[in-house]
Amino acid sequence: MTVPREMPEKWPRVRVRGGPEEERRVRANAREYNERFQYASNCIKTSKYNIVTFLPVNLFEQFQEVANTYFLFLLILQLIPQISSLSWFTTIVPLVLVLTITAVKDATDDYFRHKSDNQVNNRESQVLIGGVLRQEQWMNVRVGDIIKLENNQFVAQADLLLLSSSEPHGLCYIETAELDGETNMKVRQAIPVTAELGDTSKLARFDGEVVCESPNNKLDKFGGTLYWKENKYPLSNQNMLLRGCVLRNTEWCFGLVIFAGPDTKLMQNSGRTKFKRTSIDRLMNTLVLWIFGFLVCMGVILAIGNAIWEHEVGVCFQIYLPWDEGVHSAFFSGFLSFWSYIIILNTVVPISLYVSVEVIRLGHSYFINWDKKMYCAKRRTPAEARTTTLNEELGQVEYIFSDKTGTLTQNIMVFSKCSVNGHSYGDVQDVLGHKAELGERPEPVNFSFNPLADPRFQFWDPSLLEAVKLGDPHVHEFFRLLSLCHTVMSEEKSEGELLYKAQSPDEGALVTAARNFGFVFRFRTPKTITVHELGQAITYQLLAILDFNNIRKRMSVIVRCPEGKIRLYCKGADTILLERLHPINQDLTSVTADHLNEYAAEGLRTLVLAYKDLEESYYRDWSERLRWAGSASEAREDCLARLYDEVEHDMMLLGATAIEDKLQQGVPETIAILTLANIKIWVLTGDKQETAVNIGYSCKMLTDDMTEVFVVTGHTVLEVREELRKAREKMMDASRSVGNGFSYEEKLSSSKLTSVLEAIAGEYALVINGHSLAHALEADMEVEFLETACACKAVICCRVTPLQKAQVVELVKKYKKGVTLAIGDGANDVNMIKTAHIGVGISGQEGIQAVLASDYSFSQFKFLQRLLLVHGRWSYLRMCKFLCYFFYKNFAFTMVHFWFGFFCGFSAQTVYDQYFITLYNIVYTSLPVLAMGVFDQDVPEQRSMEYPKLYEPGQLNLLFNKREFFICIAQGIYTSVLMFFIPYGVFADATRDDGAQLADYQSFAVTVATSLVIVVSVQIGLDTGFWTAINHFFIWGSLATYFAILFTMHSDGLFRMFPNQFRFVGNAQNTLAQPTVWLTIALTTVVCIMPVVAFRFLKLDLKPELSDTVRYTQLVRKKQKTQHRCVRRAGRVGSRRSGYAFSHQEGFGELIMSGKNMRLSSLALSSFASRPSTSWIETLWKKKGSEGSGASSPSGTADKTLKV
């Protein structure tokens, strides 16, 4: 290879050993040369274990868990005979069970990782070696190799520099959904000097050297230079095929491996997802530590008791009750007794708790996956729980952060209106030429004159087509711009059947509009664009594409027309383009700006179109500077941006386009119901303010009945601070005027962060722009912004970047205790989704990037209502009831040993036999509590949706908190006291039927154990709110299993097989044959359960919860089932209409969109808790009756209206 003069003779060191790579050098077809730099190999390894390392590594990982280490420590203690009064299997059986289940799960996961790795590594790839294409495994591909790819093949090996392709001029087409979430086709092009290397013999002689950037995660940028044959050629991202993209519509192509394995941009972007834990997880860890502290305290108390007893009493019985060998004092006896009681009482922290929690969460996840009501038949997409650890937190969400485009809207763009030379087109006209009202649309425009028109395109204003046919030059130039200024790829499957592949739905809609109005984009080459203008094929020479990015917010093309004139066409955001127009456009700009405001007021997405003629001499000079800027080794992007900015000035205004992005079905209803559930919804969008605000009105986030909508548009810190201050003052003045009884200043001093929500009366909304938000998120103003925003019912942030979306979510997480949920559908929402407590991905038009980063996914925003109000609320309810019962039953079980210690000389003797201790948590009581945790529900799913206020206990964390925990513990301790002392008192004087003394140790143990199992079984029956066959089978089956195992362990047959283990033959049969024992068990059960029953009846009567009232209402409804069916049938007549934006639903839609029904329902609901249940039900049924009487009218579709 000949080195050019510009190439330094002595290269800087590429990689410092142990340090970062500074830049990369790759020489084609030179493996030995490239291996000197020790670049990463292409072998993929995502698995964690192999056959040899699995057992030690997995056990090491599992014992990183504090609980597992704790139980291992207990097992070691039990192996010490001096301190253990229990057999080792009482701990090792549940521990091994937990470790085995976890190990099997980890092994299964790793097996599939191994399988995936082998599948990827062993795939065949065509690599050019020694001038011949050979089949090589992917793992053997090296940096510097030349690879051949074929149509529809994944670029899975590495990041490649495109050298040549089957298409003219080295073009190739790719899809990048795996990279950026965009499903649309993109074009890549080889540099001209390598595009000619089409056959393997030429490629085998290619020895060019690439000097480029080091590995990084920037998907949209690449900078490098190719040195070959004494010349250098600049390289950009347009020359690269990144790993993860798919080759489309290209027969074959060759690429040079630049980055392999972990150095590829896809792998560089696959950073670790934040580990998310629920608030219940964090609380449970705290409570387990408290329980452990309580365990130590009990151990200390009993150890002190043992030392005192041995010193005062035990010393007198040394003759026939000597101390164990090695025990020489009462103090040391107490020390050993401490460890003995730690072993015996360890069941207050049962190891089965953690396994049970994971099983319940897994069940909840399957319910989400199996929910047919969250299945989208159109896209064949079910809901998916991509994590199993956050289900109960779905029932505690307080803040929802939503993207707009594709999440609230369909991201299916329709060319709706346009403004050309000051004339607005697109309004629907009636037969007399007047603007038609909604529902009076005539036939759409007939495009039959155009054989290439898209039959799916519809437009309602025939005057625009007439202008095209009459040859209006401005209209022709308008559509010519739309047919030329884009990056759309055209595919003609058959004669006249065009298929456009656009990078965005907006661009596809604009090119399709131009196509139908007679300006048909047919095909393109790297240097030309061919357009059929009103049937005549015209080819334009493509001189340059000034591409779109988020900073420029515009794109331009420079073309040479057939007559030789050079013209720049530009389209972009109004805020950018209107500033770049020639002053001669002032009047036209004013009219067009009015049209833009009208379009934005209708919720339409707008673009401004402009053009500029360029002098030949200026263009030659500018293009030469552009070529040098493109080959610059430093600051290339800045140089190009300056040149683009230079040429895109003093343009002539053509007009503007307006595209409709329709609302998804059910969005207004979903937002209304979630708002009634006290969930605050913030919309974070990149769209302009007017569009976002009007979508807000369409979604019913904003209503005309709101007290005020504050708009923050300040460009400086002082302006933003002042606007936020004025908004707070207005809200405070309104609060004082309605007489809240306290001043805002008093409220300020009451908490660290102002809880303005409690002080403000009225409904407010806040709209803030991206440039204002940048100031509002600064450290010295973020609290003021958050206070103001949280005082508002709705918040809309416009023109925000992906980073700002994540910053807003992080701000709320930082200062508010509420659970946050972020929902989006595009790659720009990934950061927000990962930052929130819960991330939800919409599988929509913008690819699957958001879904891949999410915790839950489905296809439509309306399913969020069911996910939260049904699955989330039920998951929270079930987990809370499970934990309350679990701690109760284990304290009731364990504390009996504590009381028994005072009557056995603190000798660490157990009440129950060791087999009962082993089986209690894993057999006798495990399945009933699992059934309750998986299947229980307080009200049916329909009622959960009808009464959103049922969701609030989760937000307030009322069902399981420290207070509820102590109540459960107190109930458990109370039960244990009765469980021990009632049988103890009875057995002190009781006799058998034959007159013999009843009080022996084994009979007492059987009586207490039987009482315990019966009491906890009855208790879980009381706690179960929704009975299924599984609940019945598990509860009564567990009770039957207890008696079966009990009689088996005391049977003669088992004694004959294991005489040393089962010595108490017939004890259970003899004990349970005594009427006194059954009376004792019955008395214990009644005394333990009756206070609970009495308390719940009093609470239900004196202070019913909303769920209690709803259940009672349901019973009333069942009695009047026939009547209500009639009401429902009448109420549905004529109510099913379009759910799209800007279309009014007859009856139901009118009622929902007025917002009045929501507030009335909310007010009614807020008073439910303070009213007796009967009056509440009477009020409800009076309301229902009035609704039923008006069901025949369009506004009478009341049964499906929102009820709180």
Task: Provide CB contacts within 8 A for 524, sequence distance 6+.
Answer: 489, 490, 530, 542
- In 3-state terms, what secondary structure has residue 1047? helix
Q: What is the pLDDT of residue 1195?
A: 35
747: pLDDT strictly greater than 70: no
Beta-bridged to residue 125, according to DSSP, are 136
Q: What is the pLDDT of residue 965?
A: 93
Q: Provide mean pLDDT across the span 217-231.
A: 87
pLDDT digits (tens, 9 = 90+) for 925-962: 989 999 999 999 988 888 888 889 999 999 998 999 99
pTM > 0.85? no
Q: Which two tokens stand for residue 361?
A: 């969460």
- How much of the chain exceeds pLDDT 90, in percent? 37
455: pLDDT strictly greater than 50: yes
- How much of the chain exceeds pLDDT 70, in percent? 84
Full 3-state SS string of 1171-1199: CCHHHHHHHHHHHHHHHHHCCCCCCCCCC
421: pLDDT strictly greater than 70: yes
CA 915 – CA 913 distance, rounded (Å): 6
Identify the weakest region by mean pLDDT among 260-274, 348-362, 460-474.
260-274
Other CB atoms within a 10 A radius of the CB of residue 419 amount to 28
Q: What is the pLDDT of residue 703?
A: 79
Structural element, H or E, at residue 709: strand 708-712
Q: What is the pLDDT of residue 1184?
A: 36
Q: What is the pLDDT of residue 432?
A: 54
pLDDT digits (tens, 9 = 90+) for 1072-1106: 888 999 999 999 999 999 999 999 889 888 888 88
> In this structure, which long-range contacts are made by residues 1185-1190, counting pairs with CB atoms below 8 Å and at least 24 apart in sequence?
1187/1127, 1187/1131, 1188/1126, 1188/1127, 1188/1130, 1188/1131
Q: What is the pLDDT of residue 1192?
A: 35
C-alpha distances in Å from residue 705, one per residue of 595, 702, 765: 27, 9, 11
Beta pairing, strands 708-712 & 764-769:
parallel
485: pLDDT strictly greater than 90: yes
Q: Which of the two residues, 864 and 1135, has the higher pLDDT score? A: 864
Task: From 869, 1017, 1027, 1016, select the one nearest 936 (Cα to Cα).
Answer: 1027
Phi, psi of 227 (to 5 degrees): -105, 120
HSE toward the beta carbon, residue 1114, CA cutoff 13 A: 15
Structural element, H or E, at residue 351: none
Identify the weakest region by mean pLDDT among 196-210, 480-494, 725-739.
725-739
CA 156 – CA 179 distance, rounded (Å): 12
HSE toward the beta carbon, residue 616, CA cutoff 13 A: 5
Q: Which amino acid would we find at residue 839?
A: G
Helix, strand, coil percent values for the chain (each to nearest 5): 50, 20, 30
Q: Which amino acid would we find at residue 384?
A: E
Residues constituting the chain = 1204
Structural element, H or E, at residue 463: helix 462-469
What confidence tier does 1177 reach under pLDDT thresholds 50, 70, 90? very low
CA 1199 – CA 1177 distance, rounded (Å): 16
What confidence tier does 182 reach under pLDDT thresholds 50, 70, 90? low
Q: What is the pLDDT of residue 904?
A: 87
Q: Which of the two residues, 430 and 1104, has the higher pLDDT score? A: 1104
- Mean of all residue pLDDT scores within the chain: 81
CB 393, CB 279: distance < 8 Å: yes
Q: Provide mean pLDDT across the span 975-992.
A: 89
Q: Which amino acid would we find at residue 700?
A: K
C-alpha distances in Å from residue 1001, one per residue of 210, 906, 979, 984, 1075: 86, 16, 15, 11, 18
Q: What is the pLDDT of residue 41?
A: 84
Structural element, H or E, at residue 807: helix 802-815
Burial class of 2 by CB neighbour count within 10 A (0 to 12, 13 to 18, 19+): exposed
Q: What is the pLDDT of residue 321?
A: 75
Task: Provide CB contacts within 8 A for 296, sequence distance 6+.
Answer: 342
CA 937 – CA 939 distance, rounded (Å): 6
CA 317 – CA 308 distance, rounded (Å): 14
Task: Provide CB contacts within 8 A for 555, sequence distance 6+.
Answer: 485, 486, 487, 545, 546, 547, 548, 570, 571, 572
User: Position of tokens 């995660």?
Assistant: 217
Q: Provide mean pLDDT across the span 171-195.
A: 76
Considering 145, 263, 403, 913, which one is annotated as catalytic? 403
Task: From 1112, 1114, 1105, 1095, select the one nearest 1171 (Cα to Cα).
Answer: 1105
Q: Which of the two residues, 1169 and 779, has the higher pLDDT score? A: 779
CA 876 – CA 954 distance, rounded (Å): 7
- 913 tagged catalytic: no
Q: Edge-to-edge, what's the strand order for the sheet holding 566-572?
A: 423-425, 409-420, 652-663, 604-614, 566-572, 554-560, 536-546, 528-533, 519-524
Q: Which two tokens stand for residue 521?
A: 């984009």
480: pLDDT strictly greater than 90: yes
Q: Edge-to-edge, what's the strand order for the sheet holding 252-260?
A: 132-137, 124-129, 146-150, 252-260, 158-165, 240-241
What confidence tier does 14 reach under pLDDT thresholds 50, 70, 90? very low
Rg (CA), the chain: 37
Identify the weakest region by mean pLDDT among 768-772, 1055-1059, 1179-1183.
1179-1183
pLDDT digits (tens, 9 = 90+) for 845-895: 555 667 877 889 998 899 999 999 999 999 999 999 999 999 999 999 999
1002: pLDDT strictly greater than 50: yes
CB 795, CB 816: distance < 8 Å: no
CA 275 – CA 267 distance, rounded (Å): 19
Q: Quote the DSSP letter at residue 15.
A: B
Q: Which of the residue ranges 276-285, 543-552, 615-624 has the most confident prediction, judged by mean pLDDT?
A: 615-624
What confidence tier does 562 reach under pLDDT thresholds 50, 70, 90? very high
What confidence tier does 376 reach under pLDDT thresholds 50, 70, 90? confident
1173: pLDDT strictly greater than 80: no
CB 443, CB 436: distance < 8 Å: no
pLDDT digits (tens, 9 = 90+) for 516-531: 999 999 988 888 999 9
758: pLDDT strictly greater than 90: no
256: pLDDT strictly greater than 70: yes
CA 998 – CA 1130 distance, rounded (Å): 71
Q: What is the pLDDT of residue 917?
A: 87
426: pLDDT strictly greater than 50: yes
Q: What is the pLDDT of residue 183?
A: 53
What confidence tier does 440 reach under pLDDT thresholds 50, 70, 90? low
Q: Which amino acid would we find at residue 354?
A: Y
Q: What is the pLDDT of residue 921?
A: 86
pLDDT digits (tens, 9 = 90+) for 575-619: 889 999 999 999 999 999 999 988 887 778 889 999 999 999 999
Q: How far apart are the first and last CA of the chain?
A: 78
Phi, psi of 1098 (to 5 degrees): -65, -40
Angle at 517 between CA 513 and CA 523, to 5 degrees: 70
